[in-house]
Amino acid sequence: MKACLLPARAPIETNPLRYGEVPAPERLDPGQVLVRVHACGVCRTDLHVIEGELAPRKSPVIPGHQVVGVVESVAAGASRIQPGDRVGIPWLHRTCGKCEYCRAGKENLCESAEFTGYTVDGGYADYIVAPEAFVYRIPEGFGDLKAAPLLCAGIIGFRCLRVSGIAPGGTLGLYGFGAAAHVAIQVARYWDVRVLAFTRDERHQNLARELGAVWAGPGLARSPERLDAAILFAPAGDLVPAALENLKKGGTVVLGGIHMSPIPQMPYELLYHERVLRSVANNTREDGEDFLELAAKIPIETQIETFPLADANRALNALKHDAIRGAAVLTVT
């Protein structure tokens, strides 16, 4: 099959992904499904895997964890999913179901979780294998390409919104306005939340205004109004004190990324008055199911830029340099 393989971590400017023939998955373990990939979203986490901000767990590896495709075959023991079903495969490949986090309903924190496109091969390929218990059915209203960014950008943004405590009528700051924020703002607007967008790139500021932001300005700007909550999608630690400074007493700043540059030293008064600073790690399957149902109901309209699978390096270079409007998606078949 055709795939983009990462032989070793390297800066994306060196175009480290190799497009070519690799062996297709041959054997399915019990409960697994084989999926013919149609589209795969490009996520900032793919950049962190490729450039090595996340320590290598499998090498070489095929990246990609926002996969949409059709099930080609199922292993013995699979019962939830049938051949011909259209499914989405997310970042969370599998959890153990036994550790203290899994037992407590916090499978996103599982001690021995496997991750798509990081610890197991991902969706920058013609075929991918996943456990049927961890794939989603894609709501009918979404085409393959437009559905792909829902599977990580969408779901993680939704979990960030959930834990931010934002309520109808509240005021929310979104820091960084890429794939995740352009979906999250649509959910927030649906909940009747006022959104302010903080992002350095003017094209991203314009997209935020088009999608209903009441204000858009640079990342380090003083907010024209105090925020009930803020979500940081940009991986820049110096945004943390800036966001706290714009926050009301008792408000929450949520850090949505898997990696962030160091957070600078800051005075305690930025956090005092019961402000909360927290991260989000992965998501539960419940987050995913709830989000996809809501996304179909709103309905969410993702804005995408498509690239052929062979051009994954180009898509990732564009993502790194803020040149994607909305989300980048690889067309596989």
Task: Return residues touching Zn ion (CB under 5 A).
Answer: 43, 45, 95-96, 99, 102, 110, 152
| 8 Å CB contact between 166 and 193 | yes
Smallest gap from residue 219 Cβ to Zn ion (A):
21
15 vs 11: CA distance, rounded Å: 8
52 vs 46: CA distance, rounded Å: 10
Which distant-in-sequence residues (6+ apart) come within 8 Å of 249 by Cβ? 273, 274, 275
Smallest gap from residue 50 Cβ to Zn ion (A):
13
Residue 316 identity (one-letter amino acid)? L
Is 178 or 241 the residue whose CB approaches Zn ion more closely? 178
Is 123 or 170 the residue whose CB approaches Zn ion more closely? 123
Is 20 or 105 the residue whose CB approaches Zn ion more closely? 105
Largest CA distance in the chain: 58
Smallest gap from residue 267 Cβ to Zn ion (A):
33
Q: Which of 125, 123, 138, 155 is closest to 290 using CA atoms? A: 155
**Terminal-residue alpha carbon distance, the chain:** 12
Smallest gap from residue 266 Cβ to Zn ion (A):
28
Is 102 or 329 the residue whose CB approaches Zn ion more closely? 102
Smallest gap from residue 62 Cβ to Zn ion (A):
15
Is 214 or 281 the residue whose CB approaches Zn ion more closely? 281
Is 150 or 172 the residue whose CB approaches Zn ion more closely? 150
Smallest gap from residue 101 Cβ to Zn ion (A):
5
Smallest gap from residue 153 Cβ to Zn ion (A):
7
Is 152 or 260 the residue whose CB approaches Zn ion more closely? 152
Residues of 94-121 as b/e, b for ≥16 C-beta within 10 angstroms? bbeeebebbeeeebbebeebbbbbbbbb
Strands 67-74, 32-42: parallel, antiparallel or unpaired by DSSP?
A: antiparallel
Smallest gap from residue 83 Cβ to Zn ion (A):
27
Is 45 or 302 the residue whose CB approaches Zn ion more closely? 45
Q: Which of 208, 150, 149, 206 is closest to 174 using CA atoms? A: 208
In this structure, the number of other CB atoms found within 10 A of the CB of residue 139 comes to 18
Residue 147 identity (one-letter amino acid)? A
Give the helix/strand (H/E) hosting 46.
helix 44-51
